Amino acid sequence: MAPSGKSAAAEFGLYRPSEEHDMLRDSVRALSEAKIAPFAAEVDEEGRFPQEARDALESNDLHAVHVPEAYGGAGADALATVIVIEEVARVCASSSLIPAVNKLGSLPVILSGSEELKKKYLAPLARGEAMFSYCLSEPDAGSDAGGMKTKAVRDGDHYVLNGVKRWITNAGVSDYYTVMAVTDPDKRTKGISAFVVEKDDEGVSFGAPEKKLGIKGSPTREVYLDNVRIPAERMLGEEGTGFATAMKTLDHTRITIAAQALGIAQGALDYAKGYVTERKQFGKPIGDFQGVQFMLADMAMKLEAARQLTYAAAAKSERVSLGGGDEDLTFFGAAAKCYASDAAMEITTDAVQLLGGYGYTRDYPVERMMRDAKITQIYEGTNQVQRIVMSRNLP
């Protein structure tokens, strides 16, 4: 059982991983190294979904640890969720998107869904019978999510959805989709509502997988909604509250992208540390040279700074989840995602540099880690957008 929020909050509201968290990290790391790492290069090379990772995570109840116990989940706190994602990402970024996107897709249900919807959709997620995705972005509505065009029109006891969602992580694999759609075009963001759409609903289809630089094992596809008729009861919250739900969701889940960035960076640093002790030039290990030592020191320093910011953001996320107030969550969520992803890009690039020509080849994992790190600066809001969010929410 992952640690619960009741025991994780430390003095002053900051998280220091408890013994339970340390045990969770050890178990996830062991599982990841044994069951996920051996397939990471193959998953990347073939661009296939990491089914081995899904099987391993679901068999150990690590695929959606955030689901409350009331719906059959582990009821893990925000830090425990971060640790799971971080440790999986350390060996395979694509695989870490299973727990990360399960939280992203289902959190709107937790935040705004009726009790009936929570029981209907969270229980199968907790049992590993389904995965969840999040549908916000569109071809002409990326950073400007409020400019979306997907529509939901009321028809008696149903809504009929039409539109296209783009850049949807794990699309085609997930069974459930949280979809934001316009219900009142005259109200812009206050005219957007949230719905749960099922993969098997008539009119739902998917585009071809995107050919991406990194995270090749996690399918990214368009989701087409062609006269998709769903019961009105599948709306999350009141009509017109969907955009607010979407933004509240991102306040919490940007921290999971920070966690993914931490894991990628940690994997690159670990590999580089081992390499420089073995690789010899001028008659001694290159790790004996001060220039190399300084590079490693900077990598470790940036990583630890990112980790502390991410864990602090997780503490704030948990306090909000438990019903406490925390006006700084929006700032800290954006800051953690922005700083950790920038650090991951720098650290993985330096890892490639430390391996020299070998680092540039697919025979070594750091080039994959560098490619995977790049997306953490882009999705769930580009880092330029994160800086806008931070500037508008300075603590």
CA-atom Rg of the chain in angstroms? 21
Task: Kindly tell me if the per-residue pLDDT of 11 is higher than 80.
Answer: no
Alpha-carbon gap, residue 259 to 276, rounded angstroms? 26
Alpha-carbon gap, residue 64 to 104, rounded angstroms? 10
238 is catalytic: no
Backbone angles phi, psi at 365, to 5 degrees: -80, -10
Task: Kindly tell me if the per-residue pLDDT of 289 is higher than 60.
Answer: yes
Candidates 20, 222, 367, 380; catalytic one: 380
164-218: pLDDT as tens digits: 999 999 999 999 999 999 999 999 999 999 999 999 999 999 999 999 999 999 9
Alpha-carbon gap, residue 166 to 188, rounded angstroms? 20
Nearest to 101 by CA among 206, 222, 256, 247: 256
* Contacts of residue 380, Cβ cutoff 8 Å, sequence gap at least 6: 104, 250, 253, 254, 257, 337
Task: Kindly tell me if the per-residue pLDDT of 5 is higher than 70.
Answer: no
CB 202 within 8 A of CB 161: no
Q: What is the pTM of this model?
A: 0.95
SS3 395: coil
320-375: pLDDT as tens digits: 988 877 679 999 999 999 999 999 999 999 999 999 999 999 999 999 999 999 99
DSSP states of 141-163: BSS-GGG---EEEEETTEEEEEE
240-278: pLDDT as tens digits: 999 999 999 999 999 999 999 999 999 999 999 999 999
Residue 277 burial (10 A CB sphere; 0-12, 13-18, 19+): exposed
Alpha-carbon gap, residue 124 to 183, rounded angstroms? 28
104-122: pLDDT as tens digits: 999 999 999 999 999 999 9
- Can you give the pLDDT at residue 111? 97
Residue-range domains of the chain with CATH: 5-131 (1.10.540.10), 133-240 (2.40.110.10), 243-392 (1.20.140.10)
